[in-house]
Amino acid sequence: MRVIVAGIGYRNLRDHSVGVMVTDLLESRRWPEGVVVEDLSYGPIAVVQRLEDDPPERRPDRAVFVAAAVRGDRRPGTVTAYRWDAVLPSPELIQGAVCEAVTGVIALDNTLVVAQHFGALPEEVVVVEVEPDNHEAGETLGGVVGEAFEPLCALVTRLALDHSAAGRLPVGPLGGPLPPVNAR
């Protein structure tokens, strides 16, 4: 099975850089044949073209995306992992995502929506996202996201290597399956 682990986010933007900080770290590790770790934070359209460039025999079967995402309904530092249901929004919202994509917005949601719209994603898309706390410019993670960093790297590694672990994740929309009301 071929797997791509992709970090998404801006650098120098504190907690919002966590995705690329994870892939920066994991890239330096030794991975089995068929697993690649990449910073895919260079714009969704370019990411689509990068994924399309792989010859069919090298295209991944699973993509594991890791990024910060503001959902607002969970505590900062919360890590959510799920298999994306790949349901696309309306064409108007897809065009909005393309507009954002080509004008410099690098974010988990628009990367997934644009890549899915253009058919560039593999069938299985695993998302690991973190609720950020610090939103300002800076090179370091904030307290709660900093504490979550090591377990996050371990989780992403496991989801890249352990097929059954990935397969046991719930399927849900962007942001993850809705938790019980009392947990929100």
Q: The dihedral of CA 100, 103, 108, 113: what is its sign?
A: positive
Select 103 or 182, whichever has its Cβ closest to other proteins: 103
Nearer to other proteins, 47 or 169 (CB): 47
* Gap between the Cα atoms of 47 and 9, Å rounded: 13
**How big, in percent rounded to 5, are the helix, strand and coil portions of the chain?**
40, 20, 40
Please write down the long-range contacts of 54-58, taking CB distance under 8 Å and 24 or more positions apart. 58/2
Select the span of 18-26, 93-101, 120-128, 154-162 touching other proteins (CB under 8 A).
93-101
Strands (DSSP E) found in 52-118: 62-68, 79-84
Nearer to other proteins, 135 or 184 (CB): 135
Instruction: Judge whether 30 and 89 are in contact, CB under 8 Å.
Output: no
* Both structure tokens of 144: 């709660």
Size of the site for other proteins (CB under 8 A): 29
Task: Provide the minimum distance between the beta carbon of 43 and other proteins in the complex, in angstroms, as a whole number.
Answer: 6
In the list 64, 66, 117, 145, the residue contacting other proteins (rule: CB under 8 A) is 117
Complex with other proteins: residue 54 or 161, whichever CB lies closer: 54
Other beta carbons less than 10 A from residue 24's beta carbon = 14
Contact mark string toward other proteins, 126..165, x via CB under 8 A? ---------xxxx---------------------------
Q: Which is nearer to other proteins, 41 or 80 (CB)?
A: 41
What's the chain's length in residues? 184
What residues line the site for other proteins (CB under 8 A)?
10-13, 16, 42-43, 45-46, 49, 70, 91, 94-96, 98-100, 102-107, 117, 135-138
